[in-house]
Structures are given as structure tokens and as C-alpha cells.
Amino acid sequence: MTTVQKIKEIEDEMAKTQKNKATSYHLGQLKAKLAKLRRELISPSGGGGGGGPGIGFDVARTGVASVGFVGFPSVGKSTLMSKLTGTHSEVSEIDFTTLTTVPGTLKVHGAPIQILDLPGIIEGANDGRGRGRQVIAVARTCNLIFIVLDVLKPLGDKKIIESELEGFGIRLNKKPPAILVRKKDKGGIAITNTVPLTNIDQEEIKAVLSEYKLSNVDVTIRQPNMTADDLVDVIEGNRVYIPALYVLNKVVYHLIEIMCYSRWLCMQIDAISIEELDLLYKIPYSVPISSREWLNIDELSEKMWDALELVRVYTKPRGQSPDYSAPVVLRRGRCSVEDFCNAIHKEIAKQMKYAVVWGASAKHSRGQKVGLDHILEDEDVVHIAKK
């Protein structure tokens, strides 16, 4: 029996098993077994080269962040890619026109961002159908995923694509669970929770641990509404947590003004009604656009910038005005003065005596003298004084 067949067998058994106190231990074991089989698909043990993207999919990374386009064939990914970056990506009404990863670069607020147009995926992609495994392997390495959907059937396609990415260890718009599993030499299983266990009980936790042969562990749970899947994700340790935007493409227009996000947006609606468009905006993380008509792309760019959580920092040489033409771009969470120095040259942090910062992170408008551990904010200006 193949791995895919084993996965299907377990999924069928889980679907027909009613969850209650008597079955919680069994369901916990099934979920752990399913995760272990999924791991085999992500990193197959046989063959040469492991689970990398493969020829035509692995590309050299450029820019300060990467955004991958994921979606079914013929939803407009290549048109959007070509118009955003100026990079030619074959466009056709025929499915599977894009067969390899096509890279391009888009500048947003002065920061170069790499855009990756990936081939269209099909249902069953995480099991290897239609080279879907290579496509999703590239998506795992991106800082942000654009899930491009046809505006006329967004919810059904959204659910399928989410399931495919989930099966390959990608968690969309989530944070790593606040769960700590610490192995020890003896003492059995000790479970401590600082929040109520509403979706899982101790028997199910023990079942998951048993399947992974973890008999001496301390489990600390701080995750509200924790599930068995959260625990499995922590034990597996190979999950990636990536922000995603749902790009609802092919909105066709009629010159109708609608109110959107507290500002007027001139849009022409033909394929969908105003009421349907309002419903689309209620889908979390969604942005309706038309790549062909180039409408609502500004909002898409702004949401992309916000989701990437980038921080622009400008340099100020001594006795000169700040250089606003070429910001040093950092990631939020890694935007200290030391990170800023290392982004320019690794030796600068060693040579720095102090830094002077102007902007949102400074206490004074005239500038603040700071050290390497000072956290910078977007559009701060920094002068480095050397020893």
C-alpha cells in the first residue's frame, strides 16, 4: 500500500469516527499517524536529492522578501505577475501555460520584493499530482503567499488550496502554537495547562504522545483552544507559518462607485453584484482585483507590504542629509540597530561607538543616542558614530 493510500485510509476512518470521550484516544493516535505519513510526502526517504523543489522550480533568491503566487490554472497569476513586475510570464487561456517558477522583482516603498509565479496546482497536489509537490515546496520557502482565486468561485477553490498547503506542512495566517514539549529521562508524562482544554482532553494528548513513543515528557500548554493538530505540529517541528492574502481576480467592471474600507473606490462590476462584492470583502485577508484591467492593485500592494512586516531605515552620514533614495530594509522582529549594521556590513557593529536615531523609535525629535539593542521603527533615520 502506498503512502497516499495509507493517508486516504486513515482520513476515511477519522471521518466515520464520532468524537467523544470513548474515542478521543483513538482519534489522537490517528491524527499522529496521519502527520507521520504526511511527513514522508514532504521529505521522502528514498531517491536522490530528497524533497527539494527540483529542476525548473528552484530559483536564486533576490530582494528583501519573496512572494509566491499559488492557485489553480488559468486564474490570472501570470497576467498579474507580468503587469506587477514587467517580467514576461506566458499568458494563455489554456491551462498549465506556466510550467516552471518564473521570478520577477517589484519595488514597494523603495524595497525590492521578489515575486514568484508558480505553475497552477490541482486537487491532490500535496500527494504529488501535477507536480504539485514541487510547487508547494517552493511556496514553503516564501515570506508571503498570494492565493489567487477566480472571483466567481472563491470559497470552494480557497478550501481546496488551503487543504493542499496544510497537507504539506504550511500553516496560513497562524502563529506557532504556544505549546512546549520537553523530553526527560524519567518521570512519565506531566501535562500542565495555563488555559482551559476545550478541544482536547488529557487522554487524547497521551494518545498523540504514545504514537510518537514519547513516554517521559513535560507538556506545557499556553495555547487557547488547543487541538490535537496543534500538538502534532509542535512535535513534528517541520511546519512553516506563512502569512497569506487571498487575491480574488477577474473582477470585471461597469463604472459603479462603491464604498470600500472607508474610502471611495471606482469599480466596474459585471460578473458579480455589489452585494456579492461586499461578501467577498468579508473573507479574511481578501483583496478583490482585476489584473487585466489593473484595478485595486494599489490596495493589494499596500496589504502585501503590511503582511510582510518590513521596516525601512534610512542612513545619515555625518554632516549630511539623510539618504531617502535607498533604505535599508529589515524584517520586524529583527530590526535592532545591530541588525541594521549587519545589513550594511558585518564589521560596522564591531566598530560602532553609538548610534543616533530620529523617528518613531526615538524619544526626542532632535534625535536619541542609542546602542546596538535599540529597536528601530519604519522610516527611522540612523547615524552611526564609530569608535
DSSP state of 19: P
pLDDT greater than 50 at residue 260: no
Contact of 98 with 135, CB cutoff 8 Å: no
d(CA 230, CA 213): 18
Name the β-bridge partners of 71: 148
What is the reported pLDDT for 89? Answer: 60
When pLDDT is cut at 50, 70 and 90, the band that residue 253 belongs to is: very low
Say if residues 78 and 91 touch (Cβ distance below 8 Å): yes
Q: How far is CA 183 from CA 158, 218, 333, in A?
A: 38, 6, 29
Average of per-residue pLDDT values in the chain: 83
3-state helix, strand and coil shares in percent for the chain, rounded to the nearest 5: 30, 25, 40
User: Hey, CA dihedral for 338, 343, 346, 348, is it positive or negative?
Assistant: negative
* pLDDT for res 10: 85
CA distance 90 to 75: 13
Give me the pLDDT at residue 125, please: 54
| Model pLDDT, residue 254 | 34
Residue of higher predicted confidence among 67 and 11? 67
Say yes or no to pLDDT of 98 above 70.
no
- Residue partners of 301: CB distance under 8 A and separation at least 6: 106, 108
pLDDT in tens, 209-238: 999 999 999 999 999 999 999 999 999 998
All cell numbers assigned to 150: 477566480
For the purposes of burial, counting CB atoms within 10 Å of the CB of 114, is it exposed (0-12), middle (13-18) or buried (19 or more)?
buried
Find the range with the poorest average confidence among 23-37, 126-140, 164-178: 126-140
